Amino acid sequence: MLNASTVNSSGTRRLINWETVLLTAPALIFVVAIFILPFLYGLNLSLHTGVRAEGDLTFSNYAEFFNDPTRVDAIGITFQVALPVTIFSVLISIPLAYYMRRGIRFERPITTLLILPLTLGNVMVAQSMLMYYGRQGWFNQALQAVGLIKDPLALVHNWAGVQIALFIQNFPFVFLMILGYMSGISPDLERASKMLGVGAWRTFWRVIWPLVLPGVAIAFCLNFVANFTVFPTAVLVGQPESQTKVLSIVAFRAAYEQNNPALGTAIAFVMGAIELIVVLSVLWLRSRLTRTSVLGGGKGA
């Protein structure tokens, strides 16, 4: 055994398992090389001027971003694109997962259809949307044929088109995550609630909801981050010059079109900071709601 022991200040013997250290070392090295070092390099680049951070230490890149109203407006545009579709995906997933938590007829075909968009990719989804939801696409032609609309609906090359594409791409992930949490709840809890004379609606809010809330919060956070960092979809089915000029597009243009990688990296860090604030806020709210639910349940409310 590759074990060694040391004695700490309190006199107790602490065992070091070198086999565990050796087994985890490749993973740690991989994380450092793939994530930590690029993160530190990007942070250093954003705090300097010059293409390779050869300039002086400065916050001018961040100041340049916040002093440009056209760039700052991208924050609101990104929220307008990402937040509604994230909330909608979660709200649709909860009742659907609740209905399917114990299995239903044709569950496998339905699940396959829901998972299928995950395998298509951004470009294929965008191309399909342009053909189907475009002004001369099948969807508008069908609505005009039955007389529901006179003029074609503008469903692509705007923020609505980006939201539809994001929903198609990311909804299956949200649904499957929430379904996993729903399916993991013991049916005995629901049976006990019904035996006590509690209806289905109160059973959901008093029993199911507190248990599934952590999963809903995590699904919301992951989906929000994926939607907030949207780039190819905003270009392909959006209007990147105005309605869907999201932060990722602003960062890309600053780094590669304006040849200012330091500014582009600073914008990317601003985007990451906003995502972190939203995620922490959601997790804090989840902890408060979970605590309230537990206290309320303990009081017999």
Q: What is the mean pLDDT of residues 268-288?
A: 94
In the prediction, which pLDDT does 293 show?
Answer: 55
Strand partners, 5: 15
Residue 12 has pLDDT above 80, yes or no: no
CB 178 within 8 A of CB 215: yes
Are 165 and 84 contacting, i.e. CB atoms less than 8 angstroms apart? no
Q: What is the mean pLDDT of residues 40-62?
A: 86
At 213-236, the pLDDT tens digits run: 999 999 999 999 999 999 999 999
Q: pLDDT confidence of 301, banded at 50, 70, 90? A: very low
User: For the segment 249-260, what is each residue's pLDDT rounded down to a tens digit?
Assistant: 999 999 999 889
Strand, helix or coil for residue 95: helix
Q: From residue 54, give the alpha-carbon distance in Å to each of 57, 126, 251, 262, 264.
A: 9, 40, 20, 10, 16
Quote the tokens at residue 218: 């995590």
Q: What is the pLDDT of residue 10?
A: 52
The residue whose two tokens read 């340049």 is 64
Q: Rounded to an integer, what is the distance from CA 240 to the centroid of its chain?
A: 21
Residues 6+ apart with CB under 8 A from 207: 185, 189, 190, 193
3.40.50.1820, 1.20.1600.10, 1.10.3720.10, 3.60.15.10: CATH of 69-298: 1.10.3720.10
